[in-house]
Structure 1
Amino acid sequence: MNNPAEIVPAAKEETPSVTPTPMQVLVPAYFNPAPGWDVMTSSAKAHPDVKITAILNPQNGKFTNVNVALTNAIASFKLAGRNVVGYVSTNYAKRSLAEVKANIDNYLLHYPEVSGFFLDEMEAKGKQLDFYSDVANYIRDKGLNLQIIGNPGTLPVEAYTSVSDTLVTFEGKEVDYRSFNPATLHNWVYDKPNTIQAALVHNADNCKLMQQALTMAALPRTHTSLIYVTELEFDYSTGIGNPWKSLPKYWTQLLDSVDAINKQQPLPAC
């Protein structure tokens, strides 16, 4: 039950106090080197002005040796000037710190090309802040300027900005992203760089809906820099589907559209 004395902050003007940086693409690259990673690399070369970060996820992050084909694909992707972060499940802080730290060490041993970590299944209400602070400090102590992307999948409490460079503040269906609005209860986002927010949008059936989601992310109200959109589906009521099993059918158009938005040019035709 809500405390009747609790004061809900008024919605802030939808004008961020920090100048936005160009839109970037964050790819859950949970697929095989060929064709997925190869396509990402060739697309990166064809879109030199679009920053792309790929989330590496061998065996759901639980691996014991190197996948040579994947290593070669990562090397090519990085030679194209793009970044790779390693997927680490935290299971809402139910996974032990020892397991999470061992997972991080495993990436640095077998895939030293990673430039950061994607902490999936992050608790959002601040109840596990100590857990995530410990993980973040462990990563930062490696001294490699490693990027930390946390994924609560929703807007979390502001305290989590102390443990993550970027937070996935939306993960869900395109139709739900249309009403995404941090101004309601999370005004803190407007005092941060827009790189603090990422969105992973699925069930966007066609190119027009993809472009609509990108345009939404670029709004001052939304204030989001990193984004990914796919037509692939996931049904939350049944748990059926895998939106990250391959690149979207409109992958090239997605990159073309991000480039156009960053250059303030008309969106390409779908």
Structure 2
Amino acid sequence: MSILVPLYVYPWPGAWDPLISAAKRHPNVDFTVILNPCSGPCVGSLPDQYYLDAIPKLRSYNNIRSLGYVATNYTTKPLDDVLKEIDTYASWPKTSNNTKLKVDGIFFDETPSTYDTFKYNYLSRAGQAVKNGNRFRDKFVVHNPGLITPALLTSPTFSQQSYVNLSDITVIFEETFDKWLNPSTFDALQAHRIRRSKLAVILHSLPDLSKRVLDFVVEQVQDAADWVFLTDIRVKDEYYHSFSGIFEDLVKSVDGGAEK
């Protein structure tokens, strides 16, 4: 199991230390982190100096993969704008004259969940811009529709009715902890037949949980997906702008550090 980190934390000195420390202490845990300096890549310019100083530090750890954030607005954003943002991330090393600013792929946020030919072609072209050539180290693509309905998730024709074949990871559930516990949602997440290695679950607004209960939550998420992120931050639009108090315990749980 691995951790997908929405790293929307502004990189003031020391702000990314929880991630760096976790990567050091848990070399067997893989972290895929999403960089989002300007609700995207700061089109027309590099990110500011704090980002330019912080991003290369991630390159020191073999268990950290970095992705650039690009929103598609459920494919209503003009595709040319999406391709321009992808190009901007790809240009970071050359523009900055620093190869350590090379990112490993793209995290496409606000992607659709139900199949449509136009949307499929749109996402296919966006993904090809990441996969083709050597502009991105891992050519890694993540889609985040935020929610895939239980009916679609458990459908025997899910692969034909979705975009899962266009991405390396699809976030099948990004919601509150309470909604995850809803029986229809929970049962569907446990019952689907999709390869877990291609799926992620993100839960926010967790209550105050003991480490033992947190271990149990991680185990239950693992039945649905191989990628996870949990946070107890409950303030809307602030879920991913700081490291929550449970981040260290989350990493320990993923690394097999369950309490006996």
Aligned match for 2:6, one of 7, 28, 32:
28
Residue 172 (str. 1) matches residue 175 (str. 2): yes
Aligned match for 2:246, one of 250, 259, 267:
250
Contact 1:84 1:116 in 2 (8 A): yes
Shift of residue 37 of structure 1? Answer: 1.7
Which structure 2 residues correspond to residues 1-270 of structure 1 after superposition, within 5 A? 23-33=1-11, 34-63=13-42, 64-81=45-62, 82-110=64-92, 112-127=101-116, 128-143=119-134, 144=136, 145-155=138-148, 157-158=158-159, 159-178=162-181, 179=183, 180-182=186-188, 187-189=192-194, 192=195, 194-208=196-210, 210-219=214-223, 222=224, 224-234=225-235, 240-260=236-256, 267-268=258-259
Distance between the aligned counterparts of 2:14 and 2:176, measured in 1? 25
SS state of the match for residue 106, structure 1? helix
Shift of residue 181 of structure 1? Answer: 3.5
Contact 2:41 2:68 in 1 (8 A): no
Structure 1 residues 7-40: Cα deviation after superposition (integer angstroms, max 9, x where no partner):
xxxxxxxxxxxxxxxx101110001123332221
Specify whether residues 162 and 245 from structure 1 end up closer, same or farther in structure 2 by C-alpha distance, changes over 3 A only: same
Shift of residue 54 of structure 1? Answer: 0.8
Shift of residue 218 of structure 1? Answer: 1.8
Structure 1 residues 29-54: Cα deviation after superposition (integer angstroms, max 9, x where no partner):
00112333222112210111111111
SS state of the match for residue 60, structure 1? coil
Distance between the aligned counterparts of 1:147 and 1:215, measured in 2? 26
> After TM superposition, which residue ranges in structure 1, 4 or more long, deviate above 6 angstroms?
none
Contact 2:18 2:248 in 1 (8 A): no
Distance between the aligned counterparts of 2:107 and 2:15, measured in 1? 19
User: Which residue identity is paired with 1:122?
Assistant: T
Shift of residue 211 of structure 1? Answer: 3.2
Distance between the aligned counterparts of 2:189 and 2:229, measured in 1? 22
TM-score in terms of structure 2 length: 0.81
Match of 1:17 in 2: none
User: Which residue identity is paired with 1:79?
Assistant: S
Distance between the aligned counterparts of 2:146 and 2:243, measured in 1? 20
Structure 1 residues 166-214: Cα deviation after superposition (integer angstroms, max 9, x where no partner):
0000000112223423469x8441xx2x221101100112243543431
User: Which residue identity is paired with 1:232?
Assistant: I
SS state of the match for residue 203, structure 2? strand
State the identity as a percent.
25
Contact 1:253 1:268 in 2 (8 A): no
Distance between the aligned counterparts of 2:188 and 2:130, measured in 1? 28
User: Which residue identity is paired with 2:80?
Assistant: A
- Superposed CA RMSD: 2.1
User: Which residue identity is paired with 1:249?
Assistant: G
User: Which residue identity is paired with 2:5?
Assistant: V
Instruction: Name structure 1 gaps, 5 residues minimum.
Output: 1-22, 235-239
Q: Give the count of matched residue pairs.
A: 230
Instruction: Name structure 2 gaps, 5 residues minimum.
Output: 94-100, 153-157
User: Which residue identity is paired with 2:232?
Assistant: E
